[in-house]
Amino acid sequence: MKCDQTKMHLKRKIPRGIVYHSLTESLSLFFAAIFGKIKSDQIIEQAESQFAEYVEAKYSVAFSFARTGLAAVLEKYDFPTGSEILMPPITIKGMLEIIKFYGLKPVFVDLCENSPNFDQADLERKITVKTVAALITPLFGMAPNMEKVTSAFRSHDIISIVDFSQALNAKFKGKHLHSFCDYGIYSASSLKTVDTCGGGFVVSASGKGFAEFKRFQASLSPPSRWLLVRRTFLNLVRNLATSRVIFSLLTFWYLRLLATISPDEALKQTGKRSGKLSNSLPKVWFTKYTSQQAKFLIRSLVSISSTDQKRIETVKQIKSRCYDEKKFFDEVPDTFSVFWQLIYLSKDPYKAQRKFAEVGIDIATSSLSFIPSLLPDGDYKLSNAEYIYRNGVYLPCSLNLSDADISMIATVINKNDD
């Protein structure tokens, strides 16, 4: 039986992740990007309103990138040069580039040993009289104790911003994570659960903040059709590459070849990204969100909760079949985590990738950056965060896994000696 199961997996490979669109939707988005109308304030305002309603926020403003939303928040406050902003050590480098552009000093907070969220003791140690803001990023869809995290900010009048791009629908005590902060930021980029081929949203409860963000939005350059075409084309290629037939016949073997030529490249979910910080911010970051993306957002919101439930159930099934749950992060009491990715902590992720590949399962580590390593003066003690970054492996937990797929994933984990 085990032999038959292994042969089945050798024929039917499991990709490291999926695009949350059907191939038909990806193709439609691509053609709409080429031929469709991309400027409609009415449609964008409708999408903003519906996104705000969906996440139970009062206000929502759309931007071309989530990092542009962060720029809007920092622009609003105009903090003095040299002010400090607390931030996670694992995120996209674009967030750091925005922070440095506004003359702020990033202060990195270590993560917990058994959770991909801020270590509370380290967080409180890092607060100084210069701290003006904090960027919280609940990684991999796992929710933190938001009351505990934000209590320190409130007592020091620190502006709190939660980037819930990987944690849409995650909650603490039944409330969306952004409701505990001054602002929330969501990235609707590739592979997210709501993916509009790029774009970002800032949500808030402040009417004054909303008005200022809308003025910032109005000051941006017209939307870029070329950017949208490029994004939708990449979306279509990724969707084709991760479809089970194409992945089994071509993509899996390409990744296996890449693992022998460039192991670091093959190990990252979407490949290695540039580790060089830009001296200036790209103009395309300050273009407007398109109405074609807004239309797709409106259609996508309908099905997100059901796809979340299916993914969460898959995660539960995988974890229940593993002997040692210490290989996974602990869930914080009173939280609802959505598991955008299921993280398995491996002592040797390269070895783990080879072991899974033997039975046709492709795994990867995050393509986010370990931000402190990008800075020339980065002398930081962030041992937990660095271990999670280096050793946290994404396990497949997509919606279309069969019971046999789930059993095979658990079997490899149970046999792995780390």
Do you know the residue count of the chain?
418
- Cα distance between residue 325 and residue 346, in whole Å: 12
Q: pLDDT band at residue 418, thresholds of 50, 70 and 90?
A: low
- Cα distance between residue 266 and residue 394, in whole Å: 13
Mean pLDDT of the chain: 92
Give the lowest-confidence range in 3-12, 18-27, 132-141. 3-12
181 closest CA partner among 156, 210, 154: 154
The per-residue pLDDT for range 309-356, each reduced to its tens digit, is 999 999 999 999 998 877 899 999 999 999 999 999 999 999 999 999
User: Which distant-in-sequence residues (6+ apart) come within 8 Å of 96 by Cβ?
Assistant: 87, 106, 277, 369, 371, 374
167 closest CA partner among 179, 154, 152, 151: 179
The per-residue pLDDT for range 74-98, each reduced to its tens digit, is 999 999 999 999 999 999 999 999 9
Please state the pTM of the whole predicted model.
0.93
123 closest CA partner among 136, 139, 110, 138: 110
Phi, psi of 172 (to 5 degrees): -125, 125
- Cα distance between residue 88 and residue 109, in whole Å: 6
Could you report how far apart the first and last alpha carbons of the chain are, in Å? 26
**Is the confidence at residue 139, as pLDDT, over 80?**
yes
Instruction: Please give the torsion angle defined by the CA atoms of residues 395, 400, 405 and 411, in that order, rounded to the nearest 10 degrees.
Output: 30
User: Count of CB atoms within 10 A of residue 95's CB?
Assistant: 25
**Is the confidence at residue 9, as pLDDT, over 60?**
no
Q: pLDDT band at residue 148, thresholds of 50, 70 and 90?
A: very high
Domains plus CATH for the chain? 2-23+245-273+302-415 (3.90.1150.10), 25-225 (3.40.640.10)
The per-residue pLDDT for range 216-270, each reduced to its tens digit, is 999 999 999 999 999 999 999 999 999 989 999 999 999 999 999 999 999 999 8
Residue pointed to by tokens 């519906």? 50
- Cα distance between residue 149 and residue 180, in whole Å: 9
**Is the confidence at residue 7, as pLDDT, over 70?**
no
Highest mean pLDDT among 49-53, 273-277, 393-397: 49-53
Number of H helices, E strands in the chain: 17, 15
Residues forming a β-bridge with 344: 393
185 closest CA partner among 66, 64, 62: 66
Q: pLDDT band at residue 3, thresholds of 50, 70 and 90?
A: very low
Q: Residue 251: what pLDDT?
A: 96
